[in-house]
Chains A and B, each alone.
Chain A
Amino acid sequence: MTTLSRPIVISPEGPSLLAWLNPVAFARTMVGHRNLIWQFVKRDLRNRTRGTHLGFAWDILNPLLMLVVYTIVFSSILEARLSGKQTETAMEYALYLFAGLTAFQMFAEPFGRSAAQITSKRNFVKKMAFPLEIFAISGVLTSTIHAAIGFALVFLAALLVTGGVAWTAVLLPLLLLPAVFLAIAAGWALGAMGVYFRDLQQFLGTSITRLLFFVTPIIYSVEMVPEKIRWILYLNPLTVVVSGVRSVVLAGEQPNWLAWGVWSAIGLVAMLLSYAIFMRARRGFADVI
């Protein structure tokens, strides 16, 4: 039996928004919940293929099949090219597309579900004192693992097609950082908003995610966009991530580090801020859900 500690006081006021904006406390809670976060990542990963005969193999098969489909479509049906690169083969284009898509999905998947993240976990809100903040983290970790499998396939395919992978590919995890920060931030901010405005769920997963897909250079390259409106692309953090990923993995070039740095910083601040908003807003969740 532990000795009686100082009481925890449950009161109407609770810590203020500013009190939650403490990076040290933030890091400490996240580390403290690492076991729980990992459990939920495992649960998410397994949940998807639970009950199937192939199990985990689907997590590899699915992206592999997607890559095959793209290659067939673009080599024999569409013969699409990224402009200005006449030497490029259809297989290379398929790889370009797939690498970009993998990076995009890593963000879009948790982003699309963010508004429903808390409302869909009714029991965790109403039936126990649960650290709801971990769902944003575990969701993004799950999609990052899926992305890792996708990128492993990209490396493999690149080895087969071009005979080698540029050394710059080691920069990949670093490049994904802004997308990870922003996806977690969206998980908290939109997750909290989604509790009070359920309407958010309706268009976030569909219209907004699809719009995001088209304003990100995935099926096209940044160079294909008229220079006059190219700046619009750079308002989208995923532009930096997606084109950066292609540069380091497929082209062996350095990404735009300045843009990357700016978006990483914005992502970090957004993450801390939305964490504070979430922790403040969650006090009312059980009243509404």
Chain B
Amino acid sequence: MSSDVVIAHEPTSPGQSPVPVSMRDPRSAAPDDVVIDIRELSKCYRVFPKPSDRLKQAVLGWKRRYHRDFWALRDINLQIHRGEAVGVIGRNGSGKSTLMQIIAGVLTPTEGQVGVRGRVDALLELGSAFNPEFTGRENVFLYGAILGLKRRDVEARFDDIAAFADIGDFLDQPVKTYSSGMKVRLAFSVQIQLDPEILVIDEALAVGDNLFQKRCHQRLRRLRENSGVTLVFVSHQQEVIRTVTTRAVLLHEGAIRAVGQPGEVVLEYRRLLHDEEKRSAVGHVRQLERQASKTRETARADAQANGTPSCFGDFDAVIESVEILDELGDPAGQFTAGEPMRIRIQGEVHTPLTHLNVAIRIRNKEGVKIYSWGTLNQDIDAWATTGPSAEPEAFWDREFAAGERFCVEFACDCRLGAGFYEVQAMVAEERDQYYEDERVLHWQDEAAFFTVRVPKDQHFFGGVCDLNMRAEYDDA
């Protein structure tokens, strides 16, 4: 890690700026040059489990709390100097937008304060003040008024605004006919003609096309270098952060994780993303292990407490483990096309039950259901040839006593295309033999994962599944 970057794993103490001295613009040695001074800033949202709890809190709030606190920002300290271009990055929900909204004066902080010198023009969402029924021209004047410009000021700059927006005849069409890119172009053009002092931009420019984005960034740079405009912006485009900003801030879970030279901060961000990805994969395995040791009662309580959609049911029977195995019965996570695979589901029945159906479903990364199969499907197959209940082996007919365990293995040759797959597992009590009426006892999303590789040099195919095609052609 270069010395230009301060990684703040611990919250920085009050008054101590995480900005390394080397990053400061030489012109801005005077403390007066701090245009945005964020001190010990925290923002807490109240999260109400039910909408009615909000009313209860308002009326009976002195008695007890009806909400959970969610700290979107925790103890942020940051000084931004005049003429700086500060980029803010971080994952979704890391507090970026909340920070922008507080600087823009839209949100009130819970603790700490922000001192702002100069007028803040916030593009939290470009074009959000436009009235769709009016023409672009009319909206330019309205927008000018919103931003505090007199009519004649807007008139004087109108040609510049129109030229930069470059939307041609659409200027005299109602804004409702605009594409989102056109709206952004027009709004941004008005905004930069205003002699802004501090521009706060929250991902607004990402909508424009590449050429327009390039022109925006050039213009922003000119504004910054010639007029001393200060820029603060959020972007998910790491390239933009690296090329446009003079300093970057990485937010993570509401706190500043790193601040300093943009390239280094972007690198730290990517490191963070990688770690998170690894952790989430490990997390799933852990969750599974935890689930396995759960009794019916705790599983039910847990599912209700979390309200997670990933697990639900009556828990009269629970799935304790879902394993993906290779040919030899060893746990496996990766298959090449055509390889045998088995999915083993084990669980326990808590009350005497019959007519059970244990099933799996495979989804790809995009969430598309690729395949589902269950013991009931197999039973239906059997009944089709021998008539209902004639087959004594049907899983359907098995009677489970309380405490009895079940183990079902689904075996197949893996005919899936290259990719990452999720296995969902379910145990249900069926009331008829056609999937018409079932009671889900335990449904587990993301019960297991596996990846499929399609090597280039043997049986290579494209798409989500192998149809095992044969090309036939005339003998030449």
A binding-site residues for B, Cβ under 8 Å: 1-2, 4-12, 14, 35-36, 39, 43, 46-47, 50-51, 123-130, 196-197, 283-284, 286-288
B133 x A47 contact (CB < 8 A): yes
Contact B82–A4 (Cβ < 8 Å): yes
**Cross-chain contact B117 with A5 (CB below 8 angstroms):** yes
Main secondary structure of the interface of A (DSSP, over half): mixed
Minimum CB distance partner of B126 in chain A: A127
B134 touches A10 (CB 8 A): no
Complex Cα–Cα for A147 and B32 (A) = 53
B107 lies within 8 A of A286 (CB): yes
Within 8 A of A (CB), among B94-110: 101-110
| Contact residues in A for B115 (Cβ distance below 8 Å) | 7-10
Q: Is the CB of A4 within 8 A of B105?
A: no
Flag if B45 contacts A128 (CB, 8 Å).
no
Return 26 A-B CB contacts under 8 Å, by A number: A1-B227, A2-B118, A4-B35, A4-B82, A6-B117, A7-B117, A9-B113, A10-B114, A11-B109, A36-B145, A39-B145, A39-B146, A43-B131, A50-B133, A123-B129, A127-B106, A127-B122, A127-B125, A127-B128, A128-B124, A128-B129, A196-B58, A197-B55, A286-B101, A286-B107, A287-B46
A14 to chain B, nearest CB (A): 7
**Chain A residues positioned under 8 Å from B105 (CB to CB):** 8, 10, 129
Shortest Cβ distance from A121 into B: residue? B129
Contacts of A35 in B (CB 8 A): 145, 150-151
Contact, CB under 8 Å: A127 / B107:
no
Q: Is the CB of B128 within 8 A of A123?
A: yes
Asked if A127 contacts B124 (CB within 8 A), the reply is yes
CB distance from A115 to the nearest CB of B (A): 15
Residue B118 contacts which of A5, A10, A50 (CB distance < 8 angstroms)? A5
Q: Which 6 A-B pairs have the closest CB atoms?
A: A7-B115, A129-B105, A123-B128, A11-B113, A39-B145, A127-B128
Is there an interface contact between A8 and B116, defined as CB atoms closer than 8 Å? yes
Q: Interface code B9-24, partner A: CB below 8 Å = 1, 0 otherwise?
A: 0000000000000000
Chain B residues within 8 Å of A197, by CB: 55
Contact B106 A126 (CB under 8 A): yes
Given contacts A7-B37, A196-B58, A197-B55, contact A128 B116 (CB under 8 A): no
Structural contact, B146 and A36, CB atoms closer than 8 A: yes
A14 to B108, CA, bound (A): 9
Residue B220 lies at the interface, judged by CB distance under 8 Å to chain A? no
Is residue B111 within 8 Å, beta carbon to beta carbon, of the partner chain?
yes
- Chain B contacts with A in 326-345, Cβ cutoff 8 A: none
Chain A CB within 10 Å, residue with most, of B55, B131, B146: B146
Residues of A within 8 A of B148 (CB): 36
- Asked whether A128 and B122 contact (CB < 8 A) given A43-B131, A284-B108, the answer is yes
Q: Are B106 and A12 in contact (CB under 8 A)?
A: no
When chains A and B are docked, how far (Å) is the Cα of A134 from the Cα of B133?
A: 21
Smallest CB separation, A279 vs chain B (Å):
12
- Rounded to whole angstroms, the CA-CA distance of A125 and B237 in the bound complex is 27
Q: Give Cα A43–Cα B104 distance, bound, in whole angstroms.
A: 25
